[in-house]
Amino acid sequence: MSDVVLRDQFGRGIEYLRISVTDRCNFRCLYCMPLEGLEWLPKRDILSYEEITEVVRQLAPLGLRRLRITGGEPTIRPELPALVRQLRAVDGIQDIALSTNGVKLPALAAPLREAGLDRVNLSADSLRDDRIVAIARRNLGLSPVQAAQAAEDAGLGPIKINVVVMRGINDDEVADFARLAMDHPWHVRFIELMPVGEMRDLTWEHVVPSDEILQRVSALGVLTSDAGPKGNGPAQYYRIGGSPGTIGVITPMTHTYCGSCNRVRLTADGRLRTCLYGDHEVNLRDPLRSGEALEPLFRKALAEKPKEHNLLQMQVGGLRALSQVGG
């Protein structure tokens, strides 16, 4: 496998693919979707595991090296270890990660690790049982700490815990989450809420800027800049004293990180989206199913990849809070 680096029109090397395996989720998080859910994609439109693997197999010779499996909630799709096993067998793929709410990790962590999964990102909005239910609008009976411990016990690491911080909803738990990085070799990343789109109950008043988050964390001890764990994400990391874990902040609202973007996304229905928060996409499913080569489509998509997102200007579309941001 050659060390090809495929670049977009702004010279950014693209080596990282986020793969959505389902649009469905077992949560109804108040910052992500309506209580009644969404109109789900027809099953016939969803890529099979074999089709997903074929996309990766065609893109790997172009420089694709890192994969992240996402959803919706990816662990609700049956036989997920089978997909990981197929992806691990593709020549050139160096890293496979999973973004999950963690509910199914006690049962799946070991099989996923055995299949070839490297690491996990956990979405966690609270450490309090009643508040988890209030935010997720589902009671699935597992705490983020239990999920992270299951991942650690299975040998999945580094473990990253992603927290969307919302003023008046969970921002009083910033210090509690930070203490997890002081007690465990876990990496807690605080993410700025993005109050755009249809979820009007969350407004700009709910945004907690990263500078304020770090100020709160610094009450626990002196923060020093840190390289953080391996990965592909845009977080800036810090360590509190000699803590085994780190604190990270991800800042889609106050500081754009588009200049170093190295990723594209494959949607569950086979569309290549060149900006995670934009609407530019290229249909790969139909050409794939008709036996066409994907390289020309991939190159065309990268030639049209935008310079940066426009979250601050977005007025339509569902609210996204980076709870499954890659890295």
Domain containing 83 — which CATH number?
3.20.20.70
Record the pTM. Answer: 0.88
Number of domains in the chain: 1
Residues 6+ apart with CB under 8 A from 265: 17, 18, 19, 20, 272, 273, 276
- By the 8 A CB rule, do 217 and 179 touch? no
Residue 322 is assigned to a structural domain of this protein: no
Residue 214 is assigned to a structural domain of this protein: yes
Residue 33 is assigned to a structural domain of this protein: yes
Q: Please list the rounded mean pLDDT of every run of 10 residues in the chain (327 residues).
A: 64 86 82 68 94 97 94 94 98 96 95 98 92 82 91 96 93 97 97 65 80 95 92 83 94 60 87 78 95 92 71 41 41
Residue 166 DSSP SS3: strand
Residue 255 is assigned to a structural domain of this protein: yes
Phi, psi angles (nearest 5°) of residue 52: -60, -45
The CA–CA distances, whole Å, from 218 to 139, 142, 240 equal 33, 29, 8
State the Cα–Cα distance between residues 287 and 298, nearest whole angstrom. Answer: 12
Residue 199 is assigned to a structural domain of this protein: yes
State the Cα–Cα distance between residues 138 and 118, nearest whole angstrom. Answer: 28
Phi, psi angles (nearest 5°) of residue 270: 85, 30
Amino acid identity, position 151 = A
Alpha helices in the chain (DSSP H): 49-59, 80-88, 105-115, 129-136, 144-153, 174-183, 210-217, 285-289, 295-303
Exposure string for 157-181, b = 16+ CB within 10 A, e = fewer: bbbbbbbbbbbebbbebbeebbbbb
State the Cα–Cα distance between residues 300 and 264, nearest whole angstrom. Answer: 13
Q: Which domain holds residue 118?
A: 6-303
Residue 144 DSSP SS3: helix
Query: Running DSSP on this structure, what letter comes out for residue 207?
Result: B
Q: Terminal CA-to-CA distance of the chain, rounded, Å?
A: 24
Exposure string for 77-86, b = 16+ CB within 10 A, e = fewer: beebbebbbb
Q: Quote the pLDDT of residue 256.
A: 57
Q: Quote the pLDDT of residue 300.
A: 87
